[in-house]
Structure 1
């Protein structure tokens, strides 16, 4: 056991209260609900007439009552989204509820929402996009599209006026949301910090100005999944708008700032539903996420030391639809059933805490929490179970933070023990508890090794690297084609495989709990290959992770993708042509999906072609990958007989879940040995 002596970063009082509230909802209602064909980035210069906006049955009490039933303790209203239409009677311009027929232009949805939050005991939050406003011809990151300085100055005045109205006219706002961040004054944006200091000095701000003291941040996706581990301390300040997934949002144990994490997701299917599932469109109730799915997202957010923010659509009547209302109510009921009464519970400041289990009780959920007012002190922990007189490790991890929650196969033990293995200060464990939950209430496998995903890759350096979506698990591997077992070496560093070959690995927490084996076969080195052409290489580089050249390595964290704001361009089919540098006898193709726990955009229908001269093509293989949800490791497409070629053409014909873009981490070949 070791103890560091770093100066701990701690949260503000406002951040502490925000994290204690756990679950929130974010509510979207805008002109596209009434004019669903409207797509602002394809129709610059046009915005729907405010006369279309008439939610004649609008009831904010119904919204917040539904949120409360789901277990939410705060709510965020999107007061102005990207269209520029404002849900309050702003004095900044005429494009708002005051120009609509709703309540004869005399209504104020923001005011009604705030009153409903107070009525039902939820803390109110407001979203007002400073980054995009189609009505004023402004796009990310908050600049007028013409580049005219006078127009920019006018837009900045509008933003400052609107934020002054929202922050100054409705009392204390618990949470302020900026999607896409705020363009800072030194880069030509509005000066909002003085407004915050004057009007809402106690507010927590999502992706706000970097010098604001109570901030929250994007966790990298809109799937409700936080990275594991997730540290609230970070060196990173995000201004993402959620349209592109990003890695490395897990923070750092030695981060200089406390910036809380919020994992968000819509309540309708992100890939299938209208505008990412955030807005209502008639007939799309079939895309509602199941209660099981929302439960999974609870464990991948709250259970990983972040808050969970769930989207809530409002229909053209101004109501949460019946199907959604039932979904939220059932989710709240399920979570109350899961966390009814612990089998056993303790707390303390010792480096080892024991929990005696009553006879006949076999918990399936364990919860850990530390006093984050003192900072994230714990850097490494393990939990052991006393089974048949033998202590067996069943869980291990790094950060505990506000909450760490994990599921298990029924633990038949007499005692549990939490060991703090590394810390930067004396541990302040506020809860170590065990819960016996019926399997029917939990979705997905209870064994953590069955939920993990293993990635085996070879980078540009030629070294083989392995990773697991659950970093607490050990990876055992072999290089001779045999199945890994308890005697196989544990992966601890990248290693060379100069002649190629087969790597097999499995994840394990102990001798009783092991994952299925994942196999990777490595073939021809591709350092001399080049990209000849591609149907689309996305204009979004994603911090250098995205470019078609990344097809020529086996790093699953870098990739070629076709994401574009114009979905007609980004949707498959898409293709890429590669020059292998010399004619080769191809015995098999290798395909590496992007591996970040998501299969969105991964091709599941494919075709490989070969050519000697780059003009005449031979179809070498085509088919369907039907195991991508279970296996995001290397896929091998073997040929019945070898095919000669110098040029390789890969066609992604369709993507998982009808995704409107393509993402591939690597393409390669295995040569014939003949």
Structure 2
């Protein structure tokens, strides 16, 4: 009796231990969950140098002030047209570069004099942030803002640091710059309603290292926004390249709470291998972002509009491959879109986004099979037998990533056989295999933490 009681206690303790391990898994916050489920967004890059007629050079743009800021004069600026292009692409959120490396702010700032108040355009009363947010809400797209405070050519700020020979000068100017940045963040967080994401260019460093202290401002005024990122907190991670793709597997979990490589140098090792793949044993939830400029083809990599550069727009086939290697690998894809000097997304870019959105819809509109459910095995019959060559799988990530490995099997005239095996699924996994004429298809989870909840298990036949 005593032995039986001991075994019962042991089993109970084991069960409690399992539950504890399951509960200890990192899980997404509501903002992270919404961001991952959005899957696709766009970022509109707009700044003074779009109007200077010169090729953009990052190094020069960071240190050389634009001589005449009144070159900013988009005659036909229409943020509705921007957001229509985003919606056509299938984007669920959009981000605007409020400030970038020139330091110029695209709104009516009371703390930064280098803003739309200073130009003749719209008699100094324009507010592109307000226009952008209103257009986002009109088209049902969640608005986000990109705030560049790491570089400011106008104020001589390089990598968050005010430049100058005198330490007294630098100290006073640094304190002023930090207060200005914090004030800008407060303005942007309090004037335009709820924001989906707040993105700091290259991160916002860390106040412990002398950088502006922006995290408390965002936490106070935009607690529901995805915060990307500073040395104290990262709600998402850069996926290791600007190709719009991540590696596989790509886990949402990560070993560090921030992407600050100065503090966590392992992140940058082996060409950001850790950022590309994540860590299935990581204790922090830091899902991956895959970003790329739409004009990133043919050896180009243009985040901002430049004349005569339409040949650098990615072909549709490349964008579809990018989608499968980002969204289809548990990352959120963000495409860079470039309004021109007129203030419009060029027709060639808008057409490409429209074709891309239509192609994604068409490709995944009619699955051969479609099942879901909890447990380690899901099966679907195919009557009559049909060819399949692609699978889409999602798990309920609100409880964390439970599936650690799985196989896909098909039933043919010769019985069941494996056609694919994988590890990370997360929000979405898309995988292709040689076409097979199948009578049934089966997903078997071979390793998991707790019971898997599979929200999507679909198969397709994709014409190559």
Q: Same fold (TM over 0.5)?
A: yes
Structure 1 CA distance, aligned partners of 2:299 and 2:173?
A: 37
Of 246, 254, 264, the match for 1:234: 254
1:149–1:40 Cα change, 3 Å: farther
Of 161, 172, 177, the match for 1:143: 161
Kept in 2, the 8 Å contact 1:40–1:83? The answer is: no
1:256 to 2:283 alignment: yes
Structure 2 CA distance, aligned partners of 1:424 and 1:157?
A: 46
1:330 to 2:351 alignment: no
Structure with greater strand percent: 1
Partner of 2:11: none
Q: Tell me the SS of whatever aligns to 2:59.
A: helix
Partner of 2:272: 246
Q: Tell me the SS of whatever aligns to 1:248.
A: helix
Partner of 1:17: 34
Partner of 1:106: 125
Q: Tell me the SS of whatever aligns to 2:352.
A: helix
1:239–1:224 Cα change, 3 Å: farther
1:374–1:93 Cα change, 3 Å: closer
1:169 to 2:186 alignment: no
Structure 1 CA distance, aligned partners of 2:337 and 2:298?
A: 16
Structure 2 CA distance, aligned partners of 1:217 and 1:383?
A: 29
1:216 to 2:242 alignment: no
1:419–1:332 Cα change, 3 Å: same
Structure 1 CA distance, aligned partners of 2:335 and 2:242?
A: 10
How far apart are residue 239 of structure 1 and its match?
Answer: 4.4
Q: Tell me the SS of whatever aligns to 1:327.
A: helix
Of 333, 344, 347, the match for 1:319: 344
Q: How does 1:412-561 map to 2 (within 5 A)?
A: 412-439=437-464
How far apart are residue 42 of structure 1 and its match?
Answer: 3.2
Pick the structure with greater CA Rg: 1
1:265–1:239 Cα change, 3 Å: farther
Partner of 2:206: 184
Structure 2 CA distance, aligned partners of 1:240 and 1:226?
A: 18
How far apart are residue 47 of structure 1 and its match?
Answer: 2.5
Where structure 1 has 5 or more consecutive residues not aligned to the other structure, the ranges are 440-674
TM-score by length of 1: 0.62
Partner of 1:269: 296
How far apart are residue 270 of structure 1 and its match?
Answer: 5.7
Of 57, 69, 81, the match for 2:100: 81
Structure 2 CA distance, aligned partners of 1:306 and 1:40?
A: 27
Q: Tell me the SS of whatever aligns to 2:384.
A: coil
Q: Tell me the SS of whatever aligns to 1:135.
A: coil
Structure 2 CA distance, aligned partners of 1:234 and 1:366?
A: 26
Q: Tell me the SS of whatever aligns to 2:317.
A: helix
Of 77, 85, 88, the match for 1:66: 85
Structure 2 CA distance, aligned partners of 1:40 and 1:89?
A: 26
Where structure 2 has 5 or more consecutive residues not aligned to the other structure, the ranges are 1-16, 263-267
Of 399, 405, 422, the match for 1:397: 422
How far apart are residue 323 of structure 1 and its match?
Answer: 0.3
Kept in 2, the 8 Å contact 1:40–1:134? The answer is: no
Partner of 2:71: 52
Structure 2 CA distance, aligned partners of 1:240 and 1:116?
A: 36
Structure 1 CA distance, aligned partners of 2:463 and 2:325?
A: 19
1:167–1:245 Cα change, 3 Å: farther
Structure 1 CA distance, aligned partners of 2:436 and 2:156?
A: 59
Kept in 2, the 8 Å contact 1:232–1:261? The answer is: yes
Moved more, 107-116 or 261-270: 261-270
Partner of 2:9: none
Of 36, 49, 73, the match for 1:32: 49
Structure 2 CA distance, aligned partners of 1:406 and 1:296?
A: 11
Higher relative contact order (CA 8 A, sep 6+): 2
**Root mean square deviation, CA, Å:** 2.0
Kept in 2, the 8 Å contact 1:139–1:145? The answer is: yes
Residues 596-628 of structure 1, C-alpha deviation per residue, up to 9 Å, x if partnerless?
Answer: xxxxxxxxxxxxxxxxxxxxxxxxxxxxxxxxx
1:366–1:210 Cα change, 3 Å: same
Structure 2 CA distance, aligned partners of 1:113 and 1:189?
A: 28
1:370 to 2:419 alignment: no
Partner of 1:523: none
How far apart are residue 438 of structure 1 and its match?
Answer: 2.5
Residues 580-608 of structure 1, C-alpha deviation per residue, up to 9 Å, x if partnerless?
Answer: xxxxxxxxxxxxxxxxxxxxxxxxxxxxx
Kept in 1, the 8 Å contact 2:205–2:230? The answer is: no
Structure 1 CA distance, aligned partners of 2:188 and 2:297?
A: 29
Kept in 2, the 8 Å contact 1:363–1:410? The answer is: yes
Structure 1 CA distance, aligned partners of 2:358 and 2:193?
A: 32
Residues 498-556 of structure 1, C-alpha deviation per residue, up to 9 Å, x if partnerless?
Answer: xxxxxxxxxxxxxxxxxxxxxxxxxxxxxxxxxxxxxxxxxxxxxxxxxxxxxxxxxxx
Partner of 1:41: 59
Structure 2 CA distance, aligned partners of 1:99 and 1:264?
A: 32
Q: Tell me the SS of whatever aligns to 1:414.
A: strand
Structure 2 CA distance, aligned partners of 1:154 and 1:183?
A: 17
1:40–1:337 Cα change, 3 Å: closer
How far apart are residue 230 of structure 1 and its match?
Answer: 0.6
Of 372, 378, 390, the match for 1:347: 372
Structure 2 CA distance, aligned partners of 1:11 and 1:266?
A: 27
Kept in 2, the 8 Å contact 1:357–1:416? The answer is: yes
Q: Tell me the SS of whatever aligns to 1:413.
A: strand
Kept in 2, the 8 Å contact 1:180–1:239? The answer is: no
